[in-house]
Structure 1
Amino acid sequence: MEIISSQEDLSKVMERSKTDINDVIGTVQDIINNVKLKKNQALKEYTKKFDKVELNDFKVNHEEIKEAYENLDEKLINSLKLAIENIGQFHKLQIPKEWKVELKNGIEAGQIIRPINSVGCYIPGGRAVYPSTIIMTVVPAKIAGVERIVCCSPPQKNGKIADAILVAADLAGSDEIYKIGGSQAIAALAYGTETIKKVEKIVGPGNIFVTAAKKLVYGDTDIDFPAGPSEVLIIADRTANPNFIAHDILSQSEHDPNASCVLVTDDEDIAFKTKKEVELLCQKAERKDVINQSLKNHGKIILTKEIKESIEISNNYAPEHLIIITKDDEDVLKKIKNAGSIFLGNYSPVAAGDYGSGTNHVLPTAGGAAVYSGLSTESFLKKPTVQKITKEGLESLKDIIIPIAEYEGFYAHSNSVKSRLNDLNSNE
């Protein structure tokens, strides 16, 4: 990893590996159009072309799920159950409360909570198998009360979805599972086929083709947010453990050659010790090719003059994952404006949030944390407002509604109030 000064040009660090969908937008639009037109037939053609598998039936049946349980190690099954328990406990606390207030005599207003009816959860299956992502998408949807939860994931060479994904989907509460991947899966979820009914919202991470497809179908169906390659930024001072930092850097860089890992520190000793630890760990890492490419492309150590400057860089970067290892983590936390998920102290690795501490790992990347939050129970809820107005309450509003409505040229709006007030006066 290269050590640079905060006084140098940080624009390339800030840009990191932002996904540019313009390179694939035409291809993805063609795929979406074809799925809308040919439906199941298009899915079969694309599955054969991209996944090298011929399938006649995309839906996972009960026997396949049963077989997956039999094939999977019992220890892993128990780990998935414990993860679901922790994630469920956390996400239950995210359910907002319904409320109402009397604004003045005769005017009562409030907010109610309702789940969306259906959701499609996309689970990547390219470089690795991600049962954890199934849990992170399905569990909050289930807790929110979504009636129909659909999961899509690319088939393996044997024509099946990985056992761990099937078991995780079943344990988490998925209603339907389909062996479809890529932008064709997003199109099927958005518009439906003979086999798959369309959904109201699509969530979950994916590659550039999946990201492009989600952006293109947005409006016809809702999406969570665009998500690109994973990233971590670490704010550290002299109290941090360089070995721990190095492990966190490797754990993020092993995701993808385009993953971004940035250490921002005001301590020169921490900078150089971390660099050395990273180099030593890389030599024996299992995914060293991916890690080395990631660190070469987007791995940086930024040396600042003071912690205040480190915080400013982090807020401008708006990282997906932010680790804070400083003398006073809570004080630094108060100054953080933009981050997807935050980890405090030497003993809070990103891996905890990825798998089982309870928080969600489906998070905005590439600066998206400046405007988006990560996936949560609220991602699957709607908040309709409700009001009940008495005759007296409407009378008290007439001097607000009528002048403004008529100024805007909406006389029917004005008359909808006047007619009620006239009726009220005639009955007195």
Structure 2
Amino acid sequence: MTIKYLKKAEKTPQTGSDETRNIVADMLTKIEAGGEEVALAYGRDLDGYSGGVIVSDEMIAAAAATVSRQLKDDIQFAYDRVTKFAKAQLASVSEFETELSPGLWAGQKLIPIETAGCYVPGGRYAHVASAIMSIATAKVAGVDHVVACTAPHGTEGPNPAIVYAMNLCGADTILSL
């Protein structure tokens, strides 16, 4: 049987080259030294995005207003399914202690982390499902504060469907950088 590809991703420059590694290492060094100001400058220079890093409530509302009813329904459907499964999965895991030998105890406790960071691809290949699968499951697990980050898509800023999904899933802070 011959494999027939229905779609092929566009070829991109080789990412494993020494030149690429050196450029990225230099960028990270500059960001570490210069902080947010340098990171924002890279965003302007490379993406053409000059918006803020923190996505405001107003930006969230504006994004939601541009998402079609059908897409909102699809995102809600996926969110409901992922959340239902995550709750069932959480219920299937239990805490326990066992004494392996006199005085030697071992066990398992379920303690959610305080803060989780979730990256959601949002540039050329926006991926709404990543928002649902990472943010919704973190919230079901009991994570107190979820920070979600997505890349802006050029001068347009973050993908509205991504922002809508992040908000629906319970992201406490949404970043675009």
The residue identity in structure 2 corresponding to 1:35 is I
Distance 1:147 1:22 in 2: 40
Task: Tell me which residue corresponds to 1:348.
Answer: none
Shift of residue 103, structure 1, vs aligned partner? 2.7
Q: Confirm or deny that 1:79 pairs with 2:77.
A: no
Checking the alignment, whether the CA contact within 8 Å between 2:123 and 2:153 is kept in structure 1 is no
SS in 1 for 2:49: coil
Deviations 1:46-101 (A, max 9, x none): 0011101223x211000111112221111211111110111112222333311111
TM-score by length of 2: 0.82
* Residues 148-167 of structure 1 mapped to structure 2, 5 A cutoff: 148-167=145-164
Change (3 A) 1:112 1:179: same
Distance 1:54 1:34 in 2: 19
The residue identity in structure 2 corresponding to 1:31 is M
Shift of residue 104, structure 1, vs aligned partner? 3.9
Deviations 1:335-373 (A, max 9, x none): xxxxxxxxxxxxxxxxxxxxxxxxxxxxxxxxxxxxxxx
Distance 1:106 1:31 in 2: 52
Checking the alignment, whether the CA contact within 8 Å between 2:63 and 2:161 is kept in structure 1 is yes
SS in 1 for 2:107: strand
RMSD (Å), alpha carbons: 2.3
Shift of residue 140, structure 1, vs aligned partner? 1.5
Task: Tell me which residue corresponds to 1:37.
Answer: 33
5+ residue gaps, structure 2, are 4-13
* Residues 10-89 of structure 1 mapped to structure 2, 5 A cutoff: 20=16, 22-55=18-51, 57-89=52-84
- What percent of counterpart residues are identical? 30
Checking the alignment, whether the CA contact within 8 Å between 1:68 and 1:163 is kept in structure 2 is yes
Change (3 A) 1:128 1:99: same
Residue number among 78, 82, 86 corresponding to 1:91 in the alignment: 86
Q: Confirm or deny that 1:116 pairs with 2:104.
A: no
Residue number among 130, 135, 156 corresponding to 1:133 in the alignment: 130
Shift of residue 116, structure 1, vs aligned partner? 2.1
* Residues 215-230 of structure 1 mapped to structure 2, 5 A cutoff: none
Structure with higher Rg: it is: 1
Q: Structure with the greater relative contact order (CA < 8 A, sep ≥ 6): 1 or 2?
A: 2
Distance 1:76 1:51 in 2: 26
Change (3 A) 1:154 1:106: closer
SS in 1 for 2:154: coil
Checking the alignment, whether the CA contact within 8 Å between 1:118 and 1:148 is kept in structure 2 is yes
Distance 1:45 1:126 in 2: 17
* Residues 185-196 of structure 1 mapped to structure 2, 5 A cutoff: none
Shift of residue 21, structure 1, vs aligned partner? 6.0
Task: Tell me which residue corresponds to 2:7.
Answer: none
SS in 1 for 2:42: helix
Shift of residue 107, structure 1, vs aligned partner? 4.1
Distance 1:77 1:169 in 2: 12
Shift of residue 38, structure 1, vs aligned partner? 1.0
Shift of residue 112, structure 1, vs aligned partner? 1.0
Change (3 A) 1:74 1:100: same
The residue identity in structure 1 corresponding to 2:176 is K
Checking the alignment, whether the CA contact within 8 Å between 1:54 and 1:159 is kept in structure 2 is no
Change (3 A) 1:82 1:54: same
